[in-house]
Structure 1
Amino acid sequence: MAKKKHSSIVMATYNGEKYLSEQLESFCKQTVLPDELVVSDDNSKDATKEIILNFAKTAPFKVLFVENNHNSGVVKNFENALKHAKGDIIFFSDQDDYWLSNKIEKYMSVFEDNKEIAYIFSDLKVADENLNDLGKSLYSPKTAELAHNYEKTPLAAFKDIISVKVFVNGATSAFRREFLSLICPVPVTTMLHDGWTAALISAVAKVKFLSEKYSLYRQHRNNVVGYRGYSFLLRLKNAAKENKQRKIDELNCLRLLLKRLNDLNITHKQESTSFLMNKIEILERHIKLYETNKASRAFSLIYDLTAGNYNVYFQKMKSFCTDLAAMLTN
C-alpha cells in the first residue's frame, strides 16, 4: 500500500490580526485536514503572534510558529516558512484569504492520481472585505482556456509565465516537496516567491490548472486584484513611464532563473533555458534602445512585432503598445 502523503500549509504573516482568524478557521473546516501549518511571522507589531499561538492550542493539526528578529520582507518570510515545512505536498497561503472546505481534499487527490503533476494552481473567487462573493474570477475565460492545456502541453505553463500571459497567484498553489531544493534559496526579485516557484517548477515538470475555485480572495485597501479604476490610456501612460525599470527588473529575474536552472543537475531543461536566453537577449536589446534615437527605437520594436517576438515572449499587442509609447515619450 502506498504511503499516505502528508500536507503542509506555509503562511507568511505580518500585522495580519484583522483577517487572520478567519483564514485559520477555514483550515479547520477542511474536509481533509492539513498535517501541519507552518507560520513565519515578520516581526509583527500587532496581535498576530498571540492569535497564532492561541490557535495552536486547540488546532486539530500541528502548528509551528517561527518568527524573524527583524522585518525581512515577504519573500524571505515565505522562504523561512518553507524551510520548516515537513509535508510531501506544500500549500502556499496568504494571511487574509479564506479557503473553501474541499481545497486540500481536491488538490491531494489530483497529486495522488497523477504522479507526474508537480505543481497545481487554480482559479479563485474575488470577495469583498467581509468575504462576500463579488461574482468575479481571478482568470478571464481566455486565460483559463490557455491554462487548461498546461498538463498536456510540455512547457506551455513555463512559457506563459515567462511571457507574463498568465499570472499564477501563489495563494492558490501547491507543489511536491522534492522541488524545494530547486526553489530555495528564493532571491528577492519582482517575481516574489510565488512567481519564482511557479516559473522554476514549470520549467522542468508538469503543471495542472484547476478551473474550479477553492479560495476566496479578499479585496481590501492593501490588497486588490485586477483593479481597473483608471482609463486604459492612463494605465498605458503610467506603464510607459516605468517601462525601462520594469524591463531591467525582469531581466534580472530571468538571469537568476537561468542561473538556477544551469547550476542544478536537472534533466529536460534545454528548451526552458533556450526560451529564457532568447527573452533575455530581447530584453537586453530593448534596454539598450533607450540610448538610441526614437526612429531606431520604433524600427526595432516594429521588427520584433513582425518577427513574432511579441507574440511568443510578451503580452502581444499590449506589450508592443506599452513599449512603443515608452520609447517615443522618454
Structure 2
Amino acid sequence: MVSVALCTHNGAEFLGAQLHSILNQTRVPDEIVISDDASTDATLSLALEIFGDRTAPALTVMQNSTALGVTANFAQALAACSGDLLALCDQDDVWSPVKMEQMLAEFAGRPGLLLLHSDARLVGQDGEPMGATLFGALSLSAEEKRSVHQGIAFSVLLRRNIVTGATAMLRRELLERAEPFPASWVHDEWLAMIAAATGEMDMLEAPLIDYRQHGRNEIGVSSLTLRIGINRLRVSRADRNARLLNRAQSLADRVESSGFALTESDAQAIEEKLCHERIRSGLPASRARRLRPVVAEWSTGRYARYGLGLQDIVRDLTQPA
C-alpha cells in the first residue's frame, strides 16, 4: 500500500495542478493524507472539490488551527499515513505521470532500500521550464552521484544535504527509525541521513517532478551566484554554525540512544563531524585569531570530509562573529 503525505498552507493557487497530477498517475496511490497548516484561503475546499465523491484513493484531511511549521506538519502527515511506502509531496509541484510507477519498481526489486529520491525540472510560477534541473542547481557532482549509487551516501550527506523531500519516497520502517524529528533538522534531511546511516538510500537521475519556484516557497532552490556568495560572507556566522553544531549533536545523540548498527567507520565519522562543528562554532570573534585554528582544522582534512571545503574555510575566516 502506498500513501502520499501532502502538506499544504495557503496553496489554493497551485494545489489543483498537483492533485490532478497525482490522480492521473499510471499507478495511482492508495491513500492521500492532506495535512493543512492553518490555511486562510480556499486550499481545503479546492481539495475536497477535486476529490468529489471519489472512493479511491482514500482521502484523509487534517487541519491545524495554529500553524506547526514545515517539519512538524510533515511529521503529522506521515504519522497519519497507513501505507508501507510513503511519498512526500509539496502543494505547488506537478508530478510526472510515471513518478509512482518508476519509484515503486525500484522498491519492489530492492527490499533493503529505505529511501529513494529523484531529480526535478525547475519551473517558474507559471509552470514554464526554467531550463535547469534540481541536481544542476545543487551542483551535484558525478562523484556524489556515484557515491549514492554505490551505497555510500552517508559520506555525501555528512558534507551537505542533496535530498529534496518533494521528490522522495520512503519505507515505513525508515519513518519508525527516524521519529521523532529533531528540532534542528528539516524532515527530509533527517530522513535521508537516517536512511543512509542505517540502510540503503539511492536516487533516480530522471526528473520526476516539476519543482515550482516562486516567491512563496517554504523551501526553494537558489544557485550560488557570486552576489549571493558575497552576501553570505557579510552575515554573522553565529546562527549558522550553532545550527550545524546542534544538528551534529542531535545525530550523535540519536545514534547513541537508538543503538543503530552502524559500521565502525560511519560511527567514527559522526564523532569527527561533531568535533569539526564544535571547533568551527567555537572560533574566536576576532578574524585575526581565527587563522591558526582554521589552518589546524584544515590540516586534518575535516573541512573537505564534513563540510564544503574551501567555501567553509573562507566563511570561517571572513564572516563577522
Same fold (TM over 0.5): yes
Tell me the residue number matched to 1:180: 175
Q: TM-score, normalised by structure 1?
A: 0.90
Counterpart among 155, 159, 164 of residue 163 in structure 1? 159
Structure 2 vs 1, CA of residues 142 and 54 (structure 1 numbering), >3 Å: closer, same or farther?
Answer: closer
Q: How does 1:224-243 map to 2 (within 5 A)?
A: 225-228=220-223, 232=226, 235-243=229-237
1: CA distance, partners of 2:183 / 2:18: 26
Aligned residue pairs: how many? 317
2:289 matches 1:299:
no
Find the counterpart in structure 2 of residue 8 from structure 1: 3
Alignment map for 1:219-298 (pairs within 5 Å) = 219-223=213-217, 225-228=220-223, 232=226, 235-268=229-262, 270-290=264-284, 293-298=286-291
Residue by residue over 1:173-213, the C-alpha shift from the partner in whole angstroms, topping out at 9 and shown as x without a partner, is 11111112212222322x31111111111111111111111
- 2: CA distance, partners of 1:226 / 1:12: 18
Q: 1:106 aligns with which of 102, 105, 112?
A: 102
Identity of aligned residues (%): 25
Match of 1:316 among 299, 302, 309: 309
Gaps of 5+ in 1: 1-5
Which amino acid in the other structure matches residue 187 of structure 1? P
Supply the AA of the counterpart residue of 2:188: D
The structural deviation recorded for 1:67 is 1.7
Which has the larger displacement, 108-117 or 316-325?
Answer: 316-325
Alignment of 1:76-115 (within 5 A): 76-115=72-111
Q: Which residue of 1 aligns with 2:43?
A: 48
| CA shift for structure 1 position 53 | 2.1
Q: Which moved more, 1:139-148 or 1:105-114?
A: 139-148
Q: Report what 2:140 is aligned to.
A: 143
Deviation sequence 1:258-303 (CA, Å, 0-9, x none): 2222222322354333212211112112222225x43431111122
Structure 1 residues 54 and 142 mapped into 2: Cα distance closer, same or farther (>3 Å)? closer
Q: Do the aligned residues in 2 keep the contact of 1:75 with 1:187 (CA within 8 Å)?
A: no
Tell me the residue number matched to 1:217.
Answer: 211
Q: Sort the Cα spacing of 1:231 and 1:186 in 2 relative to 1 into closer, same or farther, 3 A.
A: closer
Q: In the alignment, residue 21 of structure 2 is paired with which amino acid?
A: S
**What letter is aligned with 2:301?**
G
Q: Quote the residue 2:34 is aligned against.
A: 39
CA distance in 1: counterparts of 2:272 and 2:48, whole angstroms: 49
2:18 and 2:94 in contact (8 A); partners too: yes
Change (3 A) 1:286 1:240: farther
Q: Helix, strand or coil: the match of 2:52? A: helix
Q: CA deviation at 1:144?
A: 4.8
Compute the RMSD of aligned alpha carbons. Answer: 2.0
1:68 aligns with 2:59: no
Specify the code of the residue in structure 1 equivalent to 2:42. Answer: A
State how far apart, in whole Å, the 2-side matches of 1:99 and 1:118 are: 21
CA distance in structure 2 between the partners assigned to 1:132 and 1:294 by the alignment:
45
Provide the secondary structure at the position in 2 that maps to 1:210: strand
The more displaced of 293-302 and 81-90 is 293-302
Contact 2:213–2:221 (Cα < 8 Å) also in 1: no
SS at match of 2:125: coil
Runs of at least 5 residues in structure 2 that lack an aligned partner in the other structure: none
